[in-house]
Amino acid sequence: MQVDVLNANDLKKNAPVFGQLSFDNHEQVVFCNDKDTGLRAIIGIHNTVLGPALGGTRMWNYSTEWEAVNDVLRLSRGMTFKSAITGLNLGGGKAVILGDAKTQKTPELMRRFGEFVHSLSGKYITAEDVGMDTEDMDTVREVTPYVTGISESKGGAGNPSPITAYGVFMGMKAAAQHKYGSDHLDGKKVLVQGIGHVGESLVEHITNEGAEVFISDINQSRLEEISKKYGAKIYTDDVYGADVDIYAPCALGATINDDTIGRIRASIIAGAANNQLADEIRHGQILQEKGIVYAPDFLINAGGIINVYAELEGYGKTEIMRKTENIFNTTLEILKSANANGITTHHAALKIAQQRIDDRKRENLN
Ligand SMILES: NC(=O)c1ccc[n+]([C@@H]2O[C@H](COP(=O)([O-])OP(=O)(O)OC[C@H]3O[C@@H](n4cnc5c(N)ncnc54)[C@H](O)[C@@H]3O)[C@@H](O)[C@H]2O)c1
């Protein structure tokens, strides 16, 4: 679709990349097009100071190209801070493929995408994200080594979701330790929003720990299946107004926004979704003022990246679990530091991540 810039609203689009709020000094943005396969993709490389930019590829039916650009800018920046705070030698990158993953994804399209990734000579390393699975990464692997998240039979670390869920569980326990003086979740009411790959595994951990678990999802059959399997209670009312101790967003981003934030009654927010705060600064501050402990998403959902990093570094499951378990200590440290400095937990986590990047940049210059 071709669009003329005609009116004032469209003028904003005259700075469609460098002028966007989501643009944060990204190093490179690559637009990929292939007529034969119908591929349209954007690769965002935010920062490579700590190492190659690693981040998943999302295939999504964006309503506008502008939305896709903003998504890749936001997500790739998030990856920079996620890897930095987790202590990995990785930069931040992400890719988006424009289209419907159910109807438009073909092996040819994935291979062509892999060739574009390959053309960046390892500056960007891909992995799976929404709309992708391990099989797709195996297809990409046919044309480039710069891919992670391939199947275990092909030497990969396999499905990252259970590891992500374990990290979220660790972050949630750290938040409980900080807020309630004990990391035990027994008797705590926890609402998990989105019981997909990560959400289900999280439900299992917290159920085993004795929490009273509530689940919410747009998929009714999934709700019934998970409820039956773990004894979780299906919650159909307003998620944000729920009378629970802990809210775990594990579906979409930006669920903490102007519309929802006033209704939130939970005293802890700890979940897997990326970019949970619609406005990192303002919504982070409102949560702080309300006394709600927010465990920063990019910190506690890093299990998945720890898992794929193992493929590059060659470490095994024991080290993956050790690094993921350490999310407990890092989260606790950040929550304490935020308190001590009177800043939001999100800001405290960003500061530590940025410090690591700045230190490495200085070392690299010397
Ligand atoms: N999979 C990972 O390893 C990983 C790593 C880091 C971050 N994340 C993030 O965690 C979140 C969950 O990931 P996943 O792999 O479990 O995804 P998934 O697609 O398997 O599950 C998402 C679930 O959320 C549900 N959902 C969608 N919209 C909803 C809504 N409005 N209300 C309630 N439920 C809704 C879906 O029906 C689905 O069951 C995503 O935001 C993802 O970006 C995942």
* 202's tokens: 């999280």
* 252's tokens: 């979409």
Is the predicted pLDDT of residue 173 greater than 80, yes or no? yes
The per-residue pLDDT for 215 is 98
* Ligand 1 in reach of 304 Cβ (< 6 A): yes
* 287's tokens: 């949560």
The number of beta carbons lying within 10 Å of the beta carbon of residue 166 is: 23
Compute, in angstroms, the gap from residue 363 CA to the centroid of ligand 1: 38
Compute, in angstroms, the gap from residue 11 CA to the centroid of ligand 1: 34
Closest C-alpha to ligand 1, atom 18: 196
Compute, in angstroms, the gap from residue 201 CA to the centroid of ligand 1: 12
Quick one: which atom of ligand 1 is closest to the CA of 196?
A: 21
Closest CA to 126 of 158, 152, 150: 150
Kindly indicate whether the ipTM for this predicted assembly is greater than 0.85, answering yes or no. yes
**Residue 275 and residue 82 in contact, taking contact as beta carbons nearer than 8 Å:** no
What are the angstrom distances between the C-alpha of 321 and each of 15, 36, 302, 328, 359? 43, 43, 12, 12, 27
Mind listing the domains of the chain with CATH numbers?
21-75+91-154 (3.40.50.10860), 161-354 (3.40.50.720)
The per-residue pLDDT for 13 is 67
The per-residue pLDDT for 159 is 82
3-state DSSP assignment of residue 47: strand
pLDDT digits (tens, 9 = 90+) for 63-89: 999 999 999 999 999 999 999 999 999
The per-residue pLDDT for 158 is 79
* 33's tokens: 């097009």
The per-residue pLDDT for 155 is 85
Output phi, psi for 30, to 5 deg.
Answer: -115, 125
The per-residue pLDDT for 78 is 94
pLDDT digits (tens, 9 = 90+) for 96-113: 999 999 999 999 999 999
User: Residues 237, 241, 245, 247: what is their CA dihedral angle, to the nearest 10 degrees?
Assistant: 80
The per-residue pLDDT for 211 is 98
Quick one: which atom of ligand 1 is closest to the CA of 301?
A: 6
Closest C-alpha to ligand 1, atom 41: 273
Q: What is the rounded average pLDDT of the residues 104-126?
A: 98
* Ligand 1 in reach of 234 Cβ (< 6 A): no
* Ligand 1 in reach of 182 Cβ (< 6 A): no
* Ligand 1 in reach of 52 Cβ (< 6 A): no
Compute, in angstroms, the gap from residue 200 CA to the centroid of ligand 1: 10
Reported pTM: 0.92
